[in-house]
Structure formats: C-alpha cells, structure tokens
Amino acid sequence: MHTAFAQIDDPLDGKVFRIKAISEKANGRCLDADANTIGKNGTKVQLWDCHSGGGPNQDWKFERVGDNTYLIKSQVSPTKVVALDANGPTLGTNGTKVQLWTTHGGPNQQWVVKKNSNGTYRISNADPKAKKMSLDADSHDLMNGTKIQLWSPNGNPVQQWALIESKNGKPVNKITNVSLKKVATQSTTAYNSPASNAVNGNTSGRYSHNPSNNDITHTNDENGSWWQVDLGKIYDIDKIVIWNRTDCCWDRLQNFYVTSWATSPMKGNIGEGYGTSGPHAFTSGNHPSMNINTEFVGRYIRIWLDNGTKPLSLGEVQVFGSSIEPFTLAKQDKNSVD
C-alpha cells in the first residue's frame, strides 16, 4: 500500500481578483499599486477608490505555492512580473511596509489566505519572521493613499478583505437585485407605510389608504429620517436604483445620502468617507428613478436625509450586486491506494 496525493481544484489559483476593503471608512476602496512609482522595486501598495472601469494596478493574480498559500502578483505590467512583498528588514514589526518587488518567490512574498465567517478573508504573510501578521490598512486614515502594512492579527475590519474575481475590472459573478424581499427597517413609520414596501418588487410609487395597494414607505417628519435594508450577507454592490414617489411629493427626496456597511449597522447617519455616496437629489417628477453606481462591499444599505425635519418616502430600492460567498480553499487530499 502507498499514499497518493490528489490535487483538489483551487478556486483562487491562476485567477485575477480585486481585493476590496470592507472597513466602513474604507468601503469602496481597493488594494492599489501606486501609479506614480510603478515599475520600481518598493512601489507603494495603498488603498484607492476602486476604478469602475477597471485598472491593472488594482488587479491581482493568485498563484498557489502551498496549502492556502499564494504568490499575489500585480497585473500592471505583464512584461515585468512583480509580487506583493513584505519588507524583509522589518518583518515581525507592526507597521512593516507592504510593497511591490520583482518576483523571487521567497517566504516574504507568500501569503496565507483564510476565510472568515462573514465571507471575507484574512491574508497573512507566510514568512516565519512575520509572526503570522495580517495584511492591514492603516486605520489612522483609510482614505485614498492609505498605507498597507503588516500588523498583529486582531480581527478588526481593516484586516478583512473581499476577493472579487474580475475580468477587465468587472466582477465575474452574476449581478442581480439582492434587496428583493429582504428585511427592511426605517427610523419611524407613518401613514401605514412600512419599510418593507420598498423591497416588494413594485415600483409604482403610489400611496393608498388601503394597505394592500399602498406601495410607498413613509417616516414621520423628523430630523435625519432614514430607511435601511439588511441584505442577509455581504455582497459586492455594483449599483443602487432608487425609485421615488409618483403620486405626489417627488421633491421631498432631496439632499439624501446612501451608506453601506459590511459589518453590523452603525448608529446614526454618517457622512463622506464612510462608504457613503451623496448628496443626491431628484430634480423632476418626470424621472421616477435614479441609478447610483457604487463600488461598495456591504450587507446593510441605508438611505437617509440631511435636509431638516422632513419625512423620507420611497417607492422601491433595488440593490444590484454579486455574491462574495466564501471559497472552499484547496488542500492536498490523501488517498490510500492498494
């Protein structure tokens, strides 16, 4: 009898991904190779707004070198292959620089990828000197240009990453309306117009005293009124379509924001830099819907007003996104053979 090793298909190996931040302040930003220094060893790896049209400096190819372990190669220059690299002289120290360097395949260029329970991933450096430190976005900033570094694992969102398989900067997974029939809430409810009316699949946008014919949401007149949907799990969100009322009052939907969170929803409404798009405004009753293109990664979507004590009323909210279901990462499979 002898033991044979069968190679399980690896869902990451040989594929190109965008590596997206999920931390609330960094939502909508991708792992990015600094365009100003590309082509040089030591090129900065940073967070930057995800390019909606795609860009090779935000595309990363995974090449398997062991169990759950990969080289992660920038796709910015096929003629000069450069890999995600942890700065050797400072390995084991919090704040170690993560950079691009000519590929040599050494342990400081090898990365262990492990899934988290929420569908995201922790990426840690495989070099023993790195002490299993995680790929981490410097939490002091989280805006464009934020430094990517190694830091002791702590489970914080700045160490959780969404891997979005991409082709020409667009997700490979099918994009569908992921908000339909999901659980929705709002700050208050008025006129028997519950939050669920905005995810029932009906875009008519008309109010009725008969609850079975009423197709809008409505809050009280209040400061900072909001509506929110829980998508049930984290999605890569391509666009959000907001449908306004059509029977009257279209001009109430002014100076509103859309915010996405990947982890538990935050209390209160928050502004720029926290996975937020806006301000937005409807300008005519002749155009009942608005498309808001995003690069969010999120589970919770909130729409909120910043225009004094006004009610928030919606016809329908469609969130178009694709799944970031956890991959089953490959391992060697031992089989006994006679």
pLDDT digits (tens, 9 = 90+) for 128-179: 999 999 999 998 777 899 999 999 999 999 999 999 998 876 778 889 999 9
Query: Which residue in the block uniquely carries the two structure tokens 């659980």?
Result: 183
Contacts (Cβ under 8 Å, ≥6 apart) of 117:
none
Q: Is the pLDDT of residue 199 over 50?
A: yes
- Bin 199: left if φ > 0, else alpha if -120 < ψ < 50, else beta: alpha
| Selection from 228, 227, 301, 232 nearest residue 261 by Cα | 301
Condensed to tens digits (0 to 9), the pLDDT of residues 243-278 reads 999 999 999 999 999 999 887 666 666 544 457 888
Contact 257, 274 (CB under 8 A): no
Please list the residue range(s) of the chain that carry CATH number 2.80.10.50. Answer: 2-171
Give the number of other Cβ atoms within 10 Å of residue 57's Cβ: 21
Decide: residue 158, CB within 10 A, 0-12 exposed, 13-18 middle, 19+ buried.
buried
pLDDT of 6 strictly over 60: no
Peptide bond into 279 cis (omega under 30): yes
Q: How far apart are CA 294 and CA 285, in angstroms?
A: 24
How far the first Cα of the chain sits from its last, in Å, is 5
Q: What is the Cα–Cα distance from 310 to 85, expressed in whole angstroms?
A: 51
Architecture of domain 176-323: Sandwich (2.60)
Task: Please give the average per-residue pLDDT across 93-100, as a whole number.
Answer: 97
Classify burial at 337, counting beta carbons within 10 Å of its beta carbon; exposed 0-12, middle 13-18, buried 19 or more. exposed
CA distance 237 to 216: 24
Pick the CATH number of 2-171 from 3.90.1530.10, 2.80.10.50, 1.10.3720.10, 2.40.30.20: 2.80.10.50
**Mean pLDDT over the full length of the chain:** 88
In terms of Cβ atoms closer than 10 Å to its own Cβ (0-12, 13-18, 19+), residue 301 is buried
Q: Are 235 and 304 spatial neighbours (Cβ–Cβ below 8 Å)? A: no
290: its two tokens: 């608005």
Residue 213 exposed, middle or buried by CB count within 10 Å (0-12, 13-18, 19+): exposed
Q: Which residue has the tokens 């969404």?
A: 162
CA neighbor of 260 nearest in space, from 224, 236, 225:
236
Show the tokens assigned to 55.
Answer: 């860009």
Q: What are 305's strand-pairing partners?
A: 256
Give ranges for CATH 2.60.120.260 in the chain.
Answer: 176-323
Determine the Cα–Cα distance for residues 258 and 281; give it in Å rounded to an integer: 11
pLDDT at residue 9, rounded to an integer: 80
CA distances to 47, 54, 67, 338 from 4, rounded to whole Å, are 43, 42, 16, 10
Q: What is the mean pLDDT of residues 285-290?
A: 94
Report if pTM > 0.95. no
Gap between the Cα atoms of 198 and 279, Å rounded: 20
**Nearest-angstrom CA–CA distance, 191 and 217:** 9
- Fill in the DSSP letter of residue 43: E
Q: How far apart are CA 120 and CA 69, in angstroms?
A: 16
How sure is the predictor about 307, in pLDDT bands with cuts at 50, 70 and 90? confident
Q: Does the pLDDT of residue 81 top 90, yes or no?
A: no
